[in-house]
Amino acid sequence: MSSEPPRDPTCRPPPTGRSKPGATAGERRRRWAGVRMRVAHEAADPDASPRLVTLPADWDDVSAQALAALAPGDGPAALSDTADRWIDRIAALPGAGDALGRALGRLLLLRRAAPTVPVWSEPHGPAQQQQQQQAGFVINLAAFVKPGSGFETESYAAALGTVTHALRLLAVADHAAPILLLSNLDACLAGLGVDYDDEAGRDIARCLASAAAGFAHGGSDGGQLALIRPPTRCVVPGLAALAALPIDAMRKGARISTGFSQPGPVDSLLGVEGCGLAPIFSPLRPDGRLSESTLARLAGRGLTPEAALALSLAGDGVLPRPGRESWLAMHRALAGLVDRMPPLPEHQPTLAAAATQRRDLPARRRGFTQKAAVAGHRLFLQTGEFEDGSLGELAITPPRETPAMRGLMDAFGRSVSLGLQHGVPLEAYVEAFAYTRFGSAGPVEGDGAIAHATSLLDYAFRMLSEAYLGRAMPDAPHDARYDGPSPHHDDRPMLPLDLPEGATRKQAGRAPLRLVGGPA
pLDDT tens-digit readout, 79-134: 999 999 999 999 999 999 889 999 999 999 999 999 999 999 865 444 344 444 57
pLDDT at residue 517 tops 60: no
pLDDT tens per residue, range 3-28:
444 555 444 444 444 544 444 444 44
Which SS3 state, helix, strand or coil, does residue 19 take?
A: coil
Give me the residue spans of the domains in the chain. 25-281+321-334, 369-468
pLDDT tens per residue, range 472-503:
888 877 655 444 444 434 434 434 444 444 44
Compute how many other C-beta atoms are within 10 angstroms of the C-beta atom of residue 47.
6
pLDDT at residue 183 tops 90: yes
> What is the spatial distance between Cα 47 and Cα 186, in angstroms, rounded to a whole number?
32
Q: What is the mean pLDDT of residues 413-440?
A: 90
> What is the spatial distance between Cα 240 and Cα 232, in angstroms, rounded to a whole number?
6
> What is the spatial distance between Cα 306 and Cα 285, in angstroms, rounded to a whole number?
17
CA distances from 411 to 69, 414, 419, 423, 490 (A): 43, 5, 12, 19, 31
Pick from 13-17, 57-61, 160-164, 276-280: least confident:
13-17
Mean pLDDT taken over the chain: 81
Pick from 189-198, 270-279, 312-321: least confident:
312-321
Q: Where are the alpha helices (DSSP H) in 238-287?
A: 239-243, 265-269
* Percent of the residues in the chain that have a pLDDT greater than 70, as a whole number: 78
pLDDT tens per residue, range 241-253:
888 876 555 556 6
pLDDT at residue 307 tops 70: yes
Whether the model pTM is above 0.85:
no
Q: What is the DSSP string of 81-104?
A: HHHHHHHHHHHTSTT--SSHHHHH
pLDDT at residue 318 tops 90: no
Give residue 196's identity as a one-letter amino acid code.
Answer: Y
pLDDT score of 98: 83
pLDDT tens per residue, range 25-80:
444 457 887 899 999 999 988 888 899 999 999 999 999 999 999 998 889 999 99
Q: What is the mean pLDDT of residues 291-306?
A: 90
pLDDT tens per residue, range 327-375:
999 999 999 899 999 888 766 555 445 455 788 889 888 999 999 999 8
pLDDT score of 182: 97
pLDDT at residue 225 tops 50: no
Give residue 23's identity as a one-letter amino acid code.
Answer: A
pLDDT score of 133: 58
pLDDT score of 122: 61
pLDDT score of 497: 43
- Higher-pLDDT residue of 438, 327: 327
Give residue 443's identity as a one-letter amino acid code.
Answer: P
* Percent of the residues in the chain that have a pLDDT greater than 90, as a whole number: 48
Q: What is the DSSP string of 207-246?
A: HHHHHHHHHHHTTS--GGGGGSPPPS--SSTTHHHHHTS-
